Amino acid sequence: MTAKAKAYWSIWIGLWTGIYVLLYLLSPLAKHGIIWCTFIALPIFFNGGALRKDYIPQMICSCVGVIWGVIMFAGTSGLMGQLGIGSAGANAISCGVFTVTCCMMMIFKDNTMLNKVPAMFGGISACFSQGAAPDKIIPVMITLCLGVTLGLLCNEGGPICEKLASKNHRDQTAKI
C-alpha cells in the first residue's frame, strides 16, 4: 500500500471510528460505560488478519470468551466459598484450569466456529473487568461484536483506498 493509500485509509478508519463512537454513545449501551471493550475486539480481529471469512467466528468466540469469564469467575467464587481457599489460590486454580480448557479450542483448527482463542481471551478479559456482573454480560458481548464489526468495516476500506490512491496517481501522471 502506498503512502497516499495509507493516508486515505487512515482517514477512512478515523471517520468510521468517529461515527461508531457517536452512535454508540447515543445508544442505550452508553449507560454501561464499556465502549472501550470495542477496542479489545478490534485489534484482536486486525491481528488475526481481519479476513471476511473470520468475521462471524470472531464474534462467536468473543461471546464464548465472555461465557468462559463467567465460568472462571464462578469457579473462583466456588473455590473460595465451598473449599475455603484464599483469593489468590482460588484465582490461580480457576484461571489455570479454565485457561487450559479455553486453549484446547485451538485443536479445532479452521473447521469450526470456535477456533479464535485470542478473541475468547478478549471476551474473558472484558468479562473480568466487569466482575462478571449479570447486567453487564450481554452489553459486553454486544460491544465486543460491534468492535469486530468496526474492524471489518475499517479493513474493507483498505482496497477502496488503494484504488482511489492509484486512480489519483494515474490521473496526475496522465496530466504530465
Domain boundaries, the chain: 3-160
Dihedral sign, CA of 47, 50, 56, 59? positive
Section 69-88 average pLDDT: 84
Q: Can you tell me the distance from the alpha carbon of 73 to that of 167, in angstroms, rounded to the nearest whole number?
A: 53
Give the pTM.
0.86
Quickly state the pLDDT bin for 175 (edges 50, 70, 90). Answer: low
Quickly state the pLDDT bin for 43 (edges 50, 70, 90). Answer: very high
Which three cell numbers mark 160? 477502496
pLDDT given for residue 109 in this prediction: 65
Quickly state the pLDDT bin for 33 (edges 50, 70, 90). Answer: very high
Which amino acid, one-letter code, is at 26? L
Secondary structure in 3-state letters for 63-132: HHHHHHHHHHHHHHHHHHHHHCCCHHHHHHHHHHHHHHHHHHHHHHCCCCCCCCHHHHHHHHHHHHHCCC
pLDDT given for residue 59 in this prediction: 96
pLDDT given for residue 170 in this prediction: 57
Which has the minimum average pLDDT: 22-26, 52-56, 63-67, 98-102?
98-102
Mean pLDDT of the chain: 88
Residue in the structure block whose three cell numbers are 468462559: 68
> Residues 116-127: pLDDT tens digits?
889 999 999 999
Phi/psi class of residue 132: alpha, beta or left (left: φ > 0; alpha: ψ in -120 to 50)? left
Q: Can you tell me the distance from the alpha carbon of 98 to that of 90, in angstroms, rounded to the nearest whole number?
A: 12
